[in-house]
Amino acid sequence: MPSTIPRRLGAAAGAVSAAISLAVGELIASWLFDAPSLVVAVGDWVIDAAPPVVKDWAIAALGTADKPALVIGITVFSLIFGAILGIASRVELRVGIGGFLAFGVIGLLAGLRSPLASTVPTVFSVVVSVSAGIGTLVWLTRNLRRVEEADDIDVARRAFVGAVGGIAALAAATVVLGRALAGRVQEAVTSRLEVVLPSRVDAAPSIPAGAELRASDPLLDELSQLVTSNTDFYRIDTALMVPRVDLESWTLKVNG
């Protein structure tokens, strides 16, 4: 039978449940280096599965902002997906639970594909994240049904909206906490920035005249130069989860 619960309230319940799930995943990922969050796991999967033409377009259009754009896109999609599940849960809660489980399976499969992820931490991260989302959805949906049975529906609905706002704030605080804990991850980045390369002993020889093909053929105008200046060079990462190297313990051997 049709539900009397407003769709907007169901959507809000589903969206904040998805937000809690993602936030818990970010918190765990900041604690366990070898367990990617749901967003990172799915993002890396998207990067690997995308056709080269799509990757080239993203790099050309977004440059170094391609990864943040992907993360934002996955997050927005997840919240919309959660809102849809919340609307469906007004009538049948099992639909919402099944949707969260399905998304968790996708995140698990994506996470286990990463060569930098370990099986046990990844499974732990996904299970806890999805459980947090399902628990929030179940609690909010059951409370929402009680709201519609209250004597003063308007007051009960306002209280429910307040609870949703509180959970949304909790999700945001969890992400902030995760980022703060991830500060120790930045130690590896900081150590790399502190490395001072020795001055060159012998200067490299100049490029011989005529070696630049673009100068000899107008059809090759778009060909890159043999030497790219530091100001024009930037890195495009091909993964959201990258190795975290501690220079204090890292060594490199060059053998012949």
pTM score of the predicted model: 0.74
Are 191 and 247 a contacting pair, CB within 8 Å?
yes
Give the Cα separation of 155 and 51 in Å (integer): 52
| Residue 214: per-residue pLDDT | 63
Are 29 and 35 a contacting pair, CB within 8 Å?
yes
Q: Please calculate the CA angle 154-155-157 and round it to the nearest 5 degrees.
A: 65
| Residue 108: per-residue pLDDT | 93
| Residue 202: per-residue pLDDT | 75
Residues of the chain with pLDDT under 50: 1
| Residue 109: per-residue pLDDT | 92
| Residue 76: per-residue pLDDT | 93
Q: Tens digit of pLDDT for each residue in 14-40?
A: 999 999 999 999 888 888 877 888 888
Q: Tens digit of pLDDT for each residue in 88-117?
A: 998 899 999 999 999 999 999 998 988 878
| Residue 218: per-residue pLDDT | 63
| Residue 65: per-residue pLDDT | 78
SS3 45: helix
